[in-house]
Structure 1
Amino acid sequence: MHVPFFQGEAGRLKKKGEIMEKILIAGLVMFVLLLVSCNGKEIVIVENGKTDAKILVSGSASNMENLAAQDLSRFIEMMTKVKVPVVNNEEQIISALKEKNKPVFIIGSLAIKEKPDLQKKIESVKKKNFVLRADAITIKTEGNRIYLAGSNDDSHYFAVAELLRRWGCRFYMPTEFGMCVPEYSKLVVNDIDYSYGPPFEVRKYWISWLGDTTGKDEFMRLNMMNNEIVPSGHALAQYTKDIAPGGDPFKIPISEKSTAEHVAAKIENAYASGKRISLGMEDGLYTSDSPKDKQLMSLQWDKYFMTPSMTDAFMEFYNNVAEILMKKYPDSKAKIGFLAYSNMTLPPVREVVAKEPLVAYLAPIDIDPIHGMDDPESPPRQEYKQMLYKWAKVMQTRVVIYDYDQGMLVWRDIPNPSIASIRQDIKHYRQAGILGIDTESRGAFATTFINLYIRGRLMWNPDENVDQLIEEFYPAFYGPASKPMAEYWNAIFKAWENTIVTEHEYFVAPAIYTDDLLQFLEKRLIEGEKIIEKISKSTSLTRNEKLYVERMKFTRLGFEILKNYMAMVKEAATNIDYATAVSFGEKGLAAREQLTSMNGIFTTYKRIGEHGYAWWPGEVQQYRELASLIDGTKGTLIKKLPLEWAFMRDPENIGLKERYYDRPVDLSYWNNNKDKYDVKTRKDYPEKTWEVIRTDLYIQAQGIRHKDRQSYTGYAWYRTDIELNSDEISGKIHLKFPGLFNECWLYVNGQEVAHRENYKPIWWFNDYRFEWDVDLTGKLKPGKNTISLRIYNPHHFGGMFRRPFLYRLKS
């Protein structure tokens, strides 16, 4: 019997009484997909456990061609339990080609040799006027022959990968864990005449942070990604260290002709020999005392990095270097890569055209990684769209996007989907005509999940139906538990897609993973587990059934990490119960260890280590230390300050003049109208009007934005009153803000008592405890005390994100 995608596995489960209607529907949908482009006679590859087929590859084939042949044989065997032999002996190839009734797969260069017209098909679809490479594939059936070839060695493999997809094979994550390979009793190839070339020359990701690369290369090949690169990493200092003022590589006179001449001389030999060279800036913020640099730096202010933009100065430098070398070596095919990164992310102000050898890697490290360029809730992403098109114009399309997936840079091993972003952005990348995408990832598939798979499909074909890719994922990956698991993951995807937050670190987690969402997820997970538990009791599980069991365990451990991390945050930030927070944190970290022991690709922390308060173990340690201030070890708790405070935006900085620190707070408008505002519409709250805000979540995540949806920046005020008796104000009394961004001023009963002046405006330059401890000894009184906090937020995260408390320091 000829069994379509998933129907073989589904039929077996149905006999057990476990199959669901949706699986059958999915199977029918895939069957229809398999019939696309299939008309006429089918070529039977395997039937009833037997095959006459052979896979032919030239004896002088490249490593990639041989790998394509071997993997074709391997996956056919996985699907059918029948091994199709690979033939690379010339005599045997000649003999096999004479056969007219036995199927032959002809791979790569041998396919083009046997059918030269394939080359024309390939040329007709591959990218014209390419800069680095042009991938393209063709698959052609003719009689008993299946030709699989491409424009280069990698593309020969991609042709095989395309055929595997048509058989229903999916590769969602590296290693066997992510392989979804259907089982067939009869495997056929229908008539195919298909050729395609992707628009992007660079389609890749790499594993940073010493992440586990097991299975990465295979996963990339099977999803039509390549390893094309123009080096662009941090490299400039090695060429400028001997001219850097005071040895500081960030203070070189960038745009001066002498700097370009110095660097050009150092890379001259490499350029002359046609190599690809990186002149990427170092990882930091550049400044310069050069008069020319200062003049170019004055052209624009980079609000993301809160410093003058260095782009115009750097483009002068890069063009000068390229011009010097082009004149000397006009026939060289060398390429010079650089990063459009840090304070040269913004495109140049002047009308500049980059010299031909230059290739820019645009790395928007501080721009919202959650939303797409067309999402009205993300002005930063819309600004990034403008940057993209301007850089594409400056570089004459020689731009590679260097982005980040996971997009949450300091994170907690919980899901961080990027699908909402890439599905929009990919269309703009194609429209801008850029070279492609090179993603910095850490693997960490418990965090990235199917992000890299979706990216791979869209880099190959920007018109892929993403909803369909996601829909077919669930029955392939979870089998009979597809329905509850679709609801589980779709809820996570929706939460990220609909959020207003545009920041990119772990402080955003409570805004996305709400109590309601966690409760919904756990119900769906339990439902899925019950279905898989029944299967797991069988004494003869199929390969796919064993994987369903493993994947459910993976999902459960991932949820335990998520549940315990969020419980930890709630106990610390909301309830000021640090001992309980530590307990939840330790449970979450234990679950993470179990998950990592399943497969090293699921997390990243093991190899690079986690040192300091920025990381999860450091956050747990911070809560241990805070607990000691209230449990009698170093201090005792006097009072938890209110969870909700009055709040006033002060964009015009009139709060001091208007005495927001002690004048009566009028909450009448808030009390009468608060139900009219949600996080998306709160941007329209009336100016100069008090409202109420929580102290356990930073202000932007609660909807405090400008009317144009930009994150609120500027001054703002918190106000609350607390009642204290004479015993409560005796001794060494301190007010602890355990989680607070920004430069701040604290007022008690109308008097300024403290100024947090050593806080650096960009949050990641600060101690990641983000604590502020204020000695209030002698500054409080019995009865009502008015506490006012003035903040100045110039950039991203603003205000409190952990509830403050009063404690008495132990003598």
Structure 2
Amino acid sequence: MRRLEGSGMRAIDPGSHGQTEQWFRRASFLLLLGRVRNCIGALSAAVCGFGLLCASAHDAHDGGERRDSDEISLVEDGQSRYRIVIAADATLPVTFAAEELQKYLAQISGAQLPVLTGASADLTICVGPDGTPPEEAYTLRSDLKDRGDDGYVMGTSGRWIVLAGNSPRATLYAVYHFLEEYLGCGWCVPGDDTVPRQATIRIPQFHDAIGPPAFSMRKIVHFVDPDADCAVTQAYGPDYIRKCVLPRIDWMAKNRFNWVHPGANGPHIWERDRLRDVLVPEVVKRGLHLEVGGHTFNTWLAPDLYAKDHPDYWTGGYVCLSHPDVAPLMAENMNKWLDENPEADVVDLWHNDGGGFCHCPKCTPVEPGADDDEARAAYTKTYIHFANQVASLVARKHPEVLVNFLAYSHVTDCPAGAERLADNVLVGLCLFPRPAQRTMRPLETSPQDLDRNLRSQIPAWQKLSKHFYIYEYYTMSDWHEAWKMVKFWSIVSMMREDIGFFRRLGVAGLSSDLWDADWCPLNMYAFGRLSWNPDLTTDQIIADYCRRYYGRAYEPMIAYWTLLEEGLRESWNTDAPVNWRDQQRVAMIEKALSQAEDARIRYRIHSTLAKHRPHWPE
């Protein structure tokens, strides 16, 4: 399905006291049975309860009563009589979901459960709705109703286990959620899963219905820093994709993001670096949406192809959007690319980066002596009209594809009297450059001039567009000179306030920029959780992350991240830079390293906090 889901969002209900009680009961139940080895980390994760983190207005337990007696013996001493069953005509993501379940059950217990197709029998894990027991089919349909494309159900019926979603992608979510909630797995950092080891797996009867998420679009933009370690051959080369981007795509699916967005920022998207065969299959087999491009004026109007014969396409080095040939030519090249890449759901028509634009009288129609604001407003109207021209031509051949218009830099502000964007245009508003400010405050209440202006732009662009999302910067890249001077290592408290604000405004989509060296693990983990449920607290997110990732060292690491967040929140009431409490944090890291049970946990502590040097010990 190419087209975006509707923007109508359902309210998300925070974890209730009753749900919290159930999670503590489950943790106690697991402990008494002695089913989990390394119980401190795994049971603490159970106490946090991923079901609590994902609870929606359709309560996680509204599809059926939870019965904590009558446990299911899934694996005994490394052996299992269960089989995994999918439909004979299962889609690729459903097949992959079954394979992932098989893989992780083997890693946890050593048991090799077969994946079978066709009719189900007793002692079966049904992956996907088509293999559901007949007596459960009506209940499943009822549970999945009104939960959106990403909604899913996990449940038991006697000795059956059902993991099924409203889409193939949602079925994969159900598998990862089951592994996380009931078996103690964790997906905190790309390429570094937490997988407990236990030869015997017993689970209680359960029935959880999840969804819809608060935001129908949950996206990460994958850029590259040519100087970073991950750029192993060349920017966006196949080796880079395999080493860096593919683990992130895997992590995204495990954390229930649904849009992958490689930003090539160059004249050739696939051809230059032979990326299609490396990247696209990994997106497709997870059922994720694909957006491609980045800053693409030079992609759809490549200077090396057109500048010699048509120098008039550019004025002062910038693409002339009012030239009568430019919009049709860009649309033609875009359509050719879409013919060859039918997997793309969205294609970008972003301005080239850098802030410059064509000042010819047609692109920027202003009176002599007009100030910069007037020039930018006039040009933004031209950009809107140009985007509509291109989108109209794309719609004739690819009606299900959206064209992404980016309100960014010199075209951030929505001009008065602008024409409405076409229905096949997706508008992204960049909240740039918020991380370069002295303090990072919640957008809704911030008195800072930049924040106040950006706050006003959200409803303005929403009124002009059918499809709209927020483009954020949760990874604090070093490439921006101002960001090197102002570090915000942990901004979960601000993210929580902002994402709740975006939901109240009816925003349907969230996206974050990402550069090689700037993966901020807790911020990105929080992004995934909050984009499903903005009512989670900062403390809940920190505790869940630390208990899943830091093993026996989780307590000092909870204290560490909590201290960072306290410093951030204090800065909201002062003009001074954030006090990150360096000496206190050093003591907490030393304690965490002393409590780490093995080299892997020590590595996690070091690698996660590598950006915080020189304020923590070797």
- d(CA) in 2 for partners of 1:307, 1:502: 33
> What is aligned with 1:223?
255
Q: Which SS does the other structure have where 1:65 is aligned?
A: helix
Question: In structure 1, what is the equivalent of residue 266 of structure 2?
Answer: none
Bigger RCO of structures 1 and 2 (CA < 8 A, at least 6 apart): 2
- Aligned residue in 1 for 2:194: 179
Letter in 1 for 2:185: C
- The one-letter code of the counterpart of 2:541 is L
Contact 1:392/1:399 (<8 A) preserved:
yes
Alignment of 1:139 onto 2:157:
no
2:74 aligned with 1:45? yes
Amino acid at match of 2:564: I
Structure 1: tracts of 5 or more residues without a match: 128-133, 536-544, 565-587, 592-811
Indicate the residue corresponding to 1:170 in structure 2. 186
Answering whether residue 141 of structure 2 is matched by residue 120 of structure 1, we say: yes
User: Which residue pairs with 2:559 in the alignment?
Assistant: 487
1:338 matched residue in structure 2: 405
Distance 1:277 1:74, change over 3 A: closer
Task: Name the structure 2 match of 1:83.
Answer: 111
Check conservation: 1:272, 1:332, Cα contact below 8 A: no
Contact 1:5–1:31 (8 Å) recurs in 2:
no
Partner of 2:128 in structure 1?
108
CA contact (8 A) 1:49 1:185 kept: yes
Mapped partners of 2:253, 2:451: distance in 1: 30
1:759 aligned residue: none
Show the counterpart of 2:588: 524
Is residue 58 of structure 1 aligned with residue 87 of structure 2? yes
Q: Is the 8 A contact 1:203 1:438 kept in 2?
A: yes
Instruction: Tell me which structure has the larger Cα radius of gyration.
Output: 1
* 334 and 521 in structure 1: CA distance in 2 versus 1, 3 angstrom threshold: closer
Q: What amino acid is the match of 2:171? A: H
Moved more, 163-172 or 307-316: 307-316
- Identify the match of residue 489 of structure 2 among 403, 410, 416: 416
Contact conserved, 1:74 with 1:83, CA < 8 A, in 2? no
Go from structure 1 to structure 2 and tell me whether the alpha carbon gap of 1:461 and 1:7 turns closer, same or farther (over 3 Å shift). Answer: farther
Contact 1:337/1:359 (8 A) holds in 2 = yes
The letter for the 2-side match of 1:390 is A
Secondary structure of 2:416's counterpart equals coil
TM-score where L is the length of structure 2: 0.71
Q: 2:615 matched to which residue of 1?
A: 563
Q: Which amino acid aligns with 1:106?
A: C
Which whole-Å CA distance do the structure 2 matches of 1:525 and 1:331 have between them?
54
Using the TM superposition, give the Cα deviation of residue 311 of structure 1 relative to its aligned residue in structure 2, in angstroms. 1.7
| Mapping 1:398-409, distance limit 5 Å | 398-409=467-478
Q: 1:169 to 1:343 in 2, by over 3 A?
A: same
**CA 1:330/1:377 → structure 2, altered by over 3 Å: closer, same or farther?**
same
8 Å contact 1:208–1:440 — kept in the other structure? yes
Tell me how far apart the structure 2 counterparts of residues 77 and 297 of structure 1 sit (CA, whole Å).
71
Q: Partners of 1:420 and 1:9 in 2: how far apart?
A: 36
Structure 2 contact 377–413 (Cα < 8 Å) conserved: no
Mapped to 2, the partners of 1:12 and 1:331 lie a distance apart of 53
Whether contact under 8 Å (2:110, 2:199) holds in the other structure is: no
Are 1:460 and 2:532 counterparts? yes
Which residue of structure 1 lines up, in the alignment, with residue 219 of structure 2?
Answer: 204
Q: CA deviation at 1:314?
A: 0.7
1:361 pairs with 2:428: yes
Find the residue that maps to 1:165 and give its secondary structure: helix
For 1:526, give the aligned amino acid.
E
Q: Is the CA contact 1:244–1:251 (under 8 Å) kept in the aligned structure 2? A: no
- Write out aligned runs for 1:689-768 (5 A): none
Q: Match of 2:279?
A: none
Take 2:409 and 2:51, find their aligned partners in 1: how far apart are those partners? 48
- Unaligned segments of structure 2, at least 5 residues: 1-25, 54-58, 231-243, 261-288
- C-alpha change, 1:265 and 1:555, in structure 2 (3 Å) is closer
State the partner residue of 1:69: 98
Are 1:155 and 2:181 an aligned pair? no
Q: Deviations over 1:709-732 (max 9, x none)?
A: xxxxxxxxxxxxxxxxxxxxxxxx
Q: Aligned partners of 2:51, 2:298: CA distance in 1, in Å?
A: 57
Identity across matched positions, percent = 19
Deviation at 1:218, TM superposition (A): 2.0
Q: Quick one: which amino acid aligns to residue 459 of structure 2? A: Y
SS of residue in 1 equivalent to 2:363: helix
- Paired residues for 1:147-546 under 5 Å: 147-167=162-182, 168-176=184-192, 178-179=193-194, 181=196, 183=198, 185-209=200-224, 211=230, 212-213=244-245, 215-226=247-258, 227=260, 228-240=289-301, 242=306, 245=312, 247-248=314-315, 251-255=318-322, 259-264=326-331, 267=334, 276-295=346-365, 310-323=379-392, 329=396, 332-368=399-435, 370-396=440-466, 398-410=467-479, 416-442=489-515, 444=517, 448-499=520-571, 511-512=577-578, 517-532=581-596, 535=597, 545=598
**Whole-Å separation in 2 of the counterparts to 1:298 and 1:201:** 45
Partner of 1:650: none
Structure 1 residue 315: deviation in Å?
0.8
* Superposed displacement of residue 3, structure 1: 7.0
**C-alpha deviations, 1:29-86, integer Å up to 9, x for none?**
659969974226433323455432221123443332222112223333444x241513
Equivalent in the alignment of 2:269: none
Within 2, Cα distance between the matches of 1:180 and 1:98?
Answer: 28
CA distance in 2, matches of 1:138, 1:387: 38
SS in 2 for 1:140: strand
Give the aligned residue type for 1:407.
M
Quickly say closer, same or farther: Cα 1:124–1:146, change in 2 above 3 A: same
Q: Deviations over 1:405-436 (max 9, x none)?
A: 31244366987223233212222333444442
Instruction: After TM superposition, list the pairs within 5 Å mapping 1:578-597 onto structure 2.
Output: none
C-alpha separation in 1, matches of 2:200 and 2:88: 31
State the Cα distance separating 1:479 from its structure 2 match: 3.1
C-alpha distance in 2 between matches for 1:30 and 1:265: 50
Q: Deviations over 1:92-129 (max 9, x none)?
A: xx4xx343xxx3110115335855536734762244xx
Aligned length: 519
How far the C-alpha of 1:322 sits from its partner, in A, is 3.4
How well do the aligned residues superpose, as a CA RMSD in angstroms? Answer: 4.3
Comparing 436-445 and 354-363, the one that deviates more: 436-445
SS in 1 for 2:428: strand
1:533-592 Cα distance to aligned partner (Å, 9 max, x none):
xx4xxxxxxxxx553343344467665x2338xxxxxxxxxxxxxxxxxxxxxxx9xx7x
Separation in structure 1 between the aligned mates of residue 44 and residue 393 of structure 2, nearest angstrom: 63
1:367–1:381: 8 Å Cα contact kept in structure 2? yes
Moved more, 206-215 or 550-559: 550-559
Q: 1:244 to 1:385 in 2, by over 3 A?
A: farther
> Would the aligned equivalents of 1:122 and 1:196 in 2 still touch at CA under 8 Å?
no
1:460 aligned partner, one-letter code? W
**1:89, distance to aligned residue in structure 2 (A):** 4.6
Q: Could you say what secondary structure the match of 1:332 adopts?
A: coil
- Give the direction of change, closer, same or farther, for the CA distance of 1:444–1:270 in structure 2 (3 Å limit): closer
Instruction: Check 1:32–1:388 CA distance in 2 against 1; reply closer, same or farther (3 A cut).
Output: closer
Output the TM-score relative to the length of structure 1: 0.56
1:246/1:277 CA distance change after superposition, 3 Å: closer
Amino acid at match of 1:67: F
In structure 2, give the amino acid aligned to 1:124: K
Deviation sequence 1:651-677 (CA, Å, 0-9, x none): xxxxxxxxxxxxxxxxxxxxxxxxxxx
Q: Which has the higher strand share?
A: 1
2:9 maps to what in 1?
Answer: none
C-alpha contact (below 8 Å) 1:174/1:219 kept by paired residues: yes
Residues 475 and 482 in structure 1, CA contact (< 8 A), matched pair in contact too: yes
Q: Is the 8 A contact 2:156 2:206 kept in 1?
A: yes
Deviations 1:487-546 (A, max 9, x none): 22222233234336999xxxx9xx4466xx2211112222223333xx4xxxxxxxxx55
